[in-house]
Amino acid sequence: MVIVMAPEATNDDIEAVVDRVSRAGGEAFVSRGVSRTIIGLVGDVERFTTLNLQGMPGVADVVRVSTPYKLVSRENHPARSTVTVRGVPIGPDTVTLIAGPCAVETPEQTLEAAKMAKAAGATLLRGGAYKPRTSPYAFQGLGEHGLRILAEVREETGLPIVTEVVDPHDVELVASYADMLQVGTRNAQNFSLLQALGEAGKPVLLKRGMTATIEEWLMAAEYIAQRGNLNIVLCERGIRTYERATRNTLDISAVPVAQRLSHLPVVIDPSHSGGRRDLVLPLARAAIAVGADGLLVDVHPRPEEALCDGPQALVHEDLPELAAILRDFPPLLNRKPVTADEAALTTA
Amino acid sequence: MVIVMAPEATNDDIEAVVDRVSRAGGEAFVSRGVSRTIIGLVGDVERFTTLNLQGMPGVADVVRVSTPYKLVSRENHPARSTVTVRGVPIGPDTVTLIAGPCAVETPEQTLEAAKMAKAAGATLLRGGAYKPRTSPYAFQGLGEHGLRILAEVREETGLPIVTEVVDPHDVELVASYADMLQVGTRNAQNFSLLQALGEAGKPVLLKRGMTATIEEWLMAAEYIAQRGNLNIVLCERGIRTYERATRNTLDISAVPVAQRLSHLPVVIDPSHSGGRRDLVLPLARAAIAVGADGLLVDVHPRPEEALCDGPQALVHEDLPELAAILRDFPPLLNRKPVTADEAALTTA
Amino acid sequence: MVIVMAPEATNDDIEAVVDRVSRAGGEAFVSRGVSRTIIGLVGDVERFTTLNLQGMPGVADVVRVSTPYKLVSRENHPARSTVTVRGVPIGPDTVTLIAGPCAVETPEQTLEAAKMAKAAGATLLRGGAYKPRTSPYAFQGLGEHGLRILAEVREETGLPIVTEVVDPHDVELVASYADMLQVGTRNAQNFSLLQALGEAGKPVLLKRGMTATIEEWLMAAEYIAQRGNLNIVLCERGIRTYERATRNTLDISAVPVAQRLSHLPVVIDPSHSGGRRDLVLPLARAAIAVGADGLLVDVHPRPEEALCDGPQALVHEDLPELAAILRDFPPLLNRKPVTADEAALTTA
Amino acid sequence: MVIVMAPEATNDDIEAVVDRVSRAGGEAFVSRGVSRTIIGLVGDVERFTTLNLQGMPGVADVVRVSTPYKLVSRENHPARSTVTVRGVPIGPDTVTLIAGPCAVETPEQTLEAAKMAKAAGATLLRGGAYKPRTSPYAFQGLGEHGLRILAEVREETGLPIVTEVVDPHDVELVASYADMLQVGTRNAQNFSLLQALGEAGKPVLLKRGMTATIEEWLMAAEYIAQRGNLNIVLCERGIRTYERATRNTLDISAVPVAQRLSHLPVVIDPSHSGGRRDLVLPLARAAIAVGADGLLVDVHPRPEEALCDGPQALVHEDLPELAAILRDFPPLLNRKPVTADEAALTTA
């Protein structure tokens, strides 16, 4: 059950609701959004219906939810949401390109990749400073030094930063540099991390676990939402199947399915899905065509030297075609690509 | 190893090649296409290179192939092929819509579904008379009676027929009615059936096994090709994974992967992939965008009464949007939708 | 709904039931077993309950079944069944070893492998004359010549023969040589083949499809049962998953699950499950321990020369340990291994 | 490359090796075991071979390792290891039963479950105080209060405690109560947590990720080993597949495969694998038969009231059979069950 508070509801109104629910043996999770607060209730729903919550001051609506997730569900919030990252929108009317290097390696490589991203039409810069790697002997990222490089590149290019965080106790540090915090596929059920992100005050890009069901993915989002952060963008990045021709199997159907179940924006990562450079552009076209709200794409000036996932990065000569896809396909879906000017305008 | 014969090669030339290979302990599989004949060799490749096959009369080229499939591989035949079904092309320059009811139930239902298919832009009619069903207690199709209904509907609408065959010993009968023979997902490794289709003299629509790798799918095509039939269209229809929100998981990456490995056309079935009507149009858009050469779509006048797979059939009100997708998306990929007039023209 | 006829029911009694069901718009499938006949009804169950079938002559019992399979279900037939192959039992009180070469290659190799099988305690000989192979260029088996070799080896060793059939139109021929007909994993949904086996009059070894659910496996058995053959042994042989360390993933839980749902015996093939010789004996131990009714094991005198699946065949030096497993483990489950003497005794 | 130090090697010897490797541009990871220290080297192996490491003081052996994991590999350490948890061995000569409630709920429930565990032959008590749950609205465990309950129950029953930790920053706290720290399936690639456990000074029970390959599982173990903790027990608990009859698919082959690749002990959790009480005992038998070094089993006095995973817990009436399995099966594999007396003896 979800209590939607009116925009003018006071803290006292909210506390009164929480208090009444607690006395009835339930738990209340308060999510404070920009314009209004909603409260997720856990416990005996039948009992809650006897509490006359609808009649309490500041309560706009009481919604019964039958899915196991509540705050992120469309039952609870029928209109699809737009998440804004430092002025750049990700939502149902636009197609947003997030691009950059898989890993931050040097200031030069990062700057060059950011310029490539911009040339392709990106309005957000991705780049990993903390890399969760299957092998303890693989490159693990530059850590805070990488974050500083990203901040400098943002300064120079104007592109807001999306970067991964892997430990709940790094969330504050990473959030002090980044504009959007990414949860990687291996941490999709790292509940401590998800809860920390719920309190981070920054938008979150939540990658689907490589073997998560769509329901588990939405439950992971619910962990973030439950701690007060509804600025979540879901990212489909391929799932693990028996097929070996591709690194993962892009579950493209997951986009319309998740958009029907949840109001959160959904983007596709065509780079990690296939793990092959030759598949990135076809999958990017398919992603926009199926209705994704954005793309997350690896670019690298010299993929053969990349410390991580080089084989899937786009190179300079691929950029014009990516830019053309971003220009031509969204209008067929009544969307427009987000452009740098627009993003700047929104920020101003 | 594959021997490509010149267009003017005689039967004697072909037999001479087969003979020389046999004497060297190898086997030679002859595939006679419309314009030329190719011969796949099995055995000791090193030995074959000593036979001076290149110098024999009528031999245009000798190609060494390193993939486990030969005749269907792009190594052997770099240009992508077009398969023509009674004048209707399926290939790299076009997008072809094949539509119709999952199962033929009555003459009225079939005719009405065919008219729906045509209204959406279809130039080929699908419809099952033999239905392989998981349960022996489910509707198994009308058999030859269903084939006669399809033939009457072809008469009335002008749409050539695509229909499934499930038993090698029915191939001749089904081929006497149908314009294209379909192999269903459950028969993707029914090698007797595949071999019978290799000799059927009709184009084949080969669905991917629901748990076949892309390589196994191409090997299934090779079984058909090896018996002399290269008029094969591959159909991706979703694979089995752990995800339960959809009936199968559409492996959209399989289209560019298969097109890179094989010269055969590849189409997508967005109806069986998701098993949900609400996913058919988004997946149809994605299919064209990723580069599929065509679509295979279920339509039904009254899906709630369908004897098979009703929940995934498009209904009347979906047709304008499907027609619009077919009109608007192909040009972005430098393709054009096949239209009825054109198809008629080609036939004439 | 299933009608269980009394042992003394006449053909007229049976026809009367079929007739009454047909008039009510239903279908009746008659399965004649050794001691009694049962009739599976398909159609409107509510309607059937009004027909007073229980009161008809020769009817012993009317059972409502809620699973999608009926004749093979334990709801319908609570006691677990024993299937007897030329005197050799496979069932709940015993552990039966079926062993032999994956493929029949020569008379010598087959005879030597049969002697190996016997030395390990096998009472049935497996060996493939028709091999369904992923590649059309791989060894496809010796066909009828292979069947003749098997018959000669049976003559010499006394071991009844289990061999695969891949085409419905070969069933009669293969049945004229073999004592038990095997359905391979790739044909698990080849419904024409399953139906032909329902009428073959020989016991069937039904391998699970490599991506079949347990329910689909039982439905495949139902196809056979529905045509009158309940002498079916289920064989778990590994399923397709993402794990690549083994050829397939042995789903050992499938044995107790299938035994709970169906009365049919269930055996395990530890050779094809792992595809690795070093796993065969550990998996054989686990198979008996979990409660399997038998084992299907590849042996080969010279695996390095095998034309099919050599890497998984046991060799001479493995046989004493296999024999010891077969001797030591069954008693812990209150079972006894079937021995050659016993089998002979039963036949006599 | 791995450097095995002699038992008598000094700290100075170790530092000298680390120093020489560092100067050559490599990284050296020191793992101090009870009897000896080993050093894993990362970097240019060809370069290392020129450093004459074999000749340095205190170096017993230099081993080249070709697997991606090193310290946990059997290439590096051919003999299988025994891990001892407060005197209770888990290793190649024994079968160890770890049992208890899935979650600690109350002192009474925990004590009663511990007594059940003991009655079945358990010598280690499992019980979760921190529960990672898919839904944020599900019971998340009692936290430190649960740890205190476990400590009291250990006091009363003498059973050492195995309990899960989910956040790297809780490791120290949990280690102050527990005798063995468990990593759950959802944290199998939570690398911060794994690294923290590498420094925890307590044995670790590492569950396989529900979609981890065996190689990824061993890599996760390598993360722990690399920080100096080689007291790791691997636990197979079922993987995610398409089959829905069981909660997960027990990959029983993973036991012999992992034991061949790694020297670490491997146990099986038959409770979470199937998720069904009726499968626990058959799978427990199979686990011992395949060669597992132990079992991890859920028991609960009143599963119908359990806050977590009740349907899979064994109840009082199952205990005699579990005890009998533990008594009868290990001798067939030349192992003996660990008994409480023995464990006590070892501790004393």
- Decide: helix, strand or coil at residue C231: coil
Q: How far is C250 from chain A (nearest CA, A)?
A: 15
Report the C-alpha gap between D262 and D71 in whole angstroms: 9
From the CA of D165, how many Å to the nearest CA of chain A?
A: 11
The pLDDT of residue A303 is 86
pLDDT category of residue A348 using cuts at 50, 70 and 90? very low
| D171 SS3 class | helix
pLDDT at position A309 over 80: no
Query: What percent of chain D is modeled with pLDDT above 90?
Result: 69
State the average pLDDT over residues A147-163: 97
* pLDDT tens per residue across span D112-157: 999 999 999 999 999 999 988 888 877 778 999 999 999 999 999 9
Q: Are D280 and D314 in contact (CB under 8 A)?
A: yes
Q: Is the pLDDT of residue C286 over 80?
A: yes
In angstroms, the CA C131 to CA C309 distance is 11
Chains adjacent to D (≥3 CB pairs closer than 8 angstroms)? A, B, C
Residue C98 near residue C280, CB atoms below 8 Å? no
* CB contact (8 A) between residue B219 and residue C189: no
- Report whether pLDDT(B5) > 80: yes
Whether the CB of B245 is below 8 Å from some CB of chain D: the reply is no
* Chain A residues touching B269 at Cβ < 8 A: none
CA terminus-to-terminus distance, chain A:
38
Q: Is the pLDDT of residue A341 over 60?
A: yes
Instruction: Determine the residue of chain A that is closest to B287 in CA distance.
Output: A286
CA–CA gap between residue C343 and residue C346 (Å, rounded): 5
Output A76 or C291, whichever has higher pLDDT: C291
Residue with tokens 């993929």: A303
> Cα torsion for C184, C187, C191, C193, to the nearest 10°?
-60
Question: Cβ A168–D167 below 8 Å, yes or no?
Answer: yes
* Lowest-confidence segment of A333-347, C212-226, D275-289 by average pLDDT: A333-347
The DSSP call for residue D277 is: H
How is domain B83-347 classified at the CATH fold level? Answer: TIM Barrel (3.20.20)
* Any C CB within 8 A of A242 CB: yes
Q: What is the largest CA-CA distance in chain A?
A: 65
Average pLDDT, chain A: 91
Q: Nearest CA to CA, how far is B270 from chain A (Å)?
A: 10
* B249·A244 Cβ contact <8 A: no
Q: What mean pLDDT is reported for chain D?
A: 91
Buried b (16+ CB within 10 A) or exposed e, C220-238: bbbbbbbbbbbbbbbbbbb
143-172 in chain D: CB under 8 A from chain C: none
User: From CA A111, how far away is CA A119, in angstroms rounded?
Assistant: 12
Token pair belonging to A58:
């500041």
Q: Where are the beta strands (DSSP E) in D87-203?
A: 88-90, 94-100, 124-126, 161-164, 180-183
pLDDT band at D34 (very low <50, low <70, confident <90, very high): low
Chain C touched by D273 (CB under 8 Å): yes
Residue spans of alpha helices (H) in chain C: 11-23, 45-48, 107-119, 144-157, 171-177, 191-198, 214-226, 254-261, 270-274, 277-290, 319-328, 340-347
C-chain CB neighbours of B210 within 8 Å are 211
- pLDDT for D98 equals 98
With beta carbons less than 8 A apart as the criterion, state whether A17 and A28 touch. yes
Per residue in A59-69, is it b (16+ CB within 10 Å) or e — as a string?
Answer: beebeebebbb
Whether D255 and chain C come into contact, CB under 8 Å, resolves to yes
How high is the pLDDT of residue D343? 64
- CB within 8 Å: C286 and D282: no
**How far does B319 lie from chain C, in Å, by closest CA?**
34
Nearest Cα neighbor of A279 from C186, D30, C47, B291 is B291
Examine the pLDDT at A83 and tell me if it is beyond 60.
Answer: yes
Question: Model confidence at D248, in pLDDT bands (50, 70, 90)?
Answer: very high
The Cα–Cα gap between B317 and B334 comes to 28
Using CA coordinates, name the residue in chain B closest to A211: B242
pLDDT of residue C111 exceeding 90, the answer is: yes
Tens digit of pLDDT for each residue in B107-127? 999 999 999 999 999 999 999
A202 vs B23, which has greater pLDDT? A202
Q: Is the pLDDT of residue B66 over 90?
A: no
> What pLDDT shows up at residue D41?
83
Q: Where is average pLDDT lowest: A118-127, C61-70, C104-113, D100-109?
A: C61-70
N- to C-terminal Cα separation, chain C = 38
Residue boundaries of the structural domains of chain A: 2-63, 83-347
| pLDDT score, position B348 | 44
Compare all CA atoms of chain A with the CA of C240 and give the residue at the minimum distance.
A242
- Among chain B residues, the shortest Cα distance to C190 is held by B187
User: Residue C161: pLDDT above 90?
Assistant: yes
Give the pLDDT of residue C306: 80
What letter represents residue D313's amino acid? A
Poorest-pLDDT segment among A307-316, C290-299, D64-73: D64-73
Instruction: Express each pLDDT in C190-237 by its tens digit.
Output: 999 999 999 999 999 999 999 899 999 999 999 999 988 999 999 999
| Angle of CA points C284, C285, C287, to nearest 5° | 65
Q: Could you give the CA distance from residue B226 to residue B135 in angstroms, rounded to a whole number?
A: 33
Q: Which residue of B has its CA nearest to D239?
A: B242
**Looking at CA atoms only, how far is residue A27 from chain D in angstroms?**
9
DSSP string, A309-342: -GGG-B-GGGHHHHHHHHHHSGGGGT-EE--HHH
Instruction: Give residue B134's pLDDT.
Output: 80
Q: Does the CB of D54 have a partner CB in chain B at under 8 Å?
A: no
Residue of D nearest to A68 (CA): D135
The answer to whether the CB atoms of A219 and D136 lie below 8 A apart is: yes
Does C343 have pLDDT greater than 70? no
Dist CA B291 CA B297 (whole Å)? 17
Given a cut of 50, whether residue C348 has pLDDT beyond it is: no
Question: In chain A, which residue's Cα lies nearest the Cα of B282?
Answer: A290
Are the beta carbons of B192 and C167 separated by less than 8 Å?
Answer: yes
Could you tell me what percent of chain D has a pLDDT over 70?
Answer: 96
Say if the Cβ atoms of B219 and C135 lie within 8 Å.
yes
Minimal CA separation from C206 to chain D, in Å:
18
**Which residue is closest to B196 within chain C, CA to CA?**
C167
pLDDT digits (tens, 9 = 90+) for A34-73: 667 888 887 777 788 888 888 888 888 887 766 788 899 9
Nearest Cα neighbor of B95 from B259, B285, B300 is B285
Whole-number Å distance between alpha carbons of C81 and C71: 12
pLDDT at A66: 65
The residue among D167, D214, D222 with the most chain A CBs within 10 A of its CB, best to mutate, is D167
Assign 3-state DSSP to chain B and report helix, strand, coil percentages, each to 5.
40, 20, 40
Phi, psi of D269 (to 5 degrees): -105, 95
Q: Which two tokens stand for residue B90?
A: 């399926």
Identity of the highest mean pLDDT range in A43-47, D74-78, D297-301: D297-301
Q: What's the pLDDT tens digit per position in A168-195?
A: 999 999 999 999 999 999 999 999 999 9
Residue D33 has pLDDT above 80, yes or no: no
What are the pLDDT digits (tens) for A227-262?
A: 889 999 999 999 999 998 999 999 999 999 999 999
Mutate to test the interface with B, among D242, D247, D251 (most CBs of B within 10 A): D242
The chains in contact with chain A, meaning 3 or more Cβ pairs closer than 8 Å, are: B, C, D
Tell me the two tokens of residue D94: 């024994």
Confidence of residue B345 (pLDDT cuts 50, 70, 90): low
Q: Calculate mean pLDDT across residues B241-251.
A: 93
* Mean of pLDDT values over A154-167: 96
Identity at D77, one-letter amino acid code? H
Nearest to B219 among C68, C134, C226 (CB): C134
At the topology level, CATH places domain A2-63 in Alpha-Beta Plaits (3.30.70)
Interface predicted TM-score (ipTM) of this complex, two decimals: 0.85
Report residue C42 as tokens: 């398909």
Q: How far apart are CA B138 and CA C15, in angstroms?
A: 23
Residues 201-230 of A with CB under 8 A from D: 210-211, 216, 219, 222-223, 226
* Ordered alpha helix ranges (H), C204-337: 214-226, 254-261, 270-274, 277-290, 319-328
How near does any CA of chain D get to the CA of A241, in Å? 9
Q: For the residues of B84-100, what is the DSSP string, one character each?
A: EETTEEESTTEEEEEEE
- D294 near D82, Cβ under 8 Å? no
Nearest Cα neighbor of C170 from C154, C192, C138 is C192
Contact B117, B318 (CB under 8 A): no
Average pLDDT over residues C9-36: 84
**pLDDT given at position D348:** 44
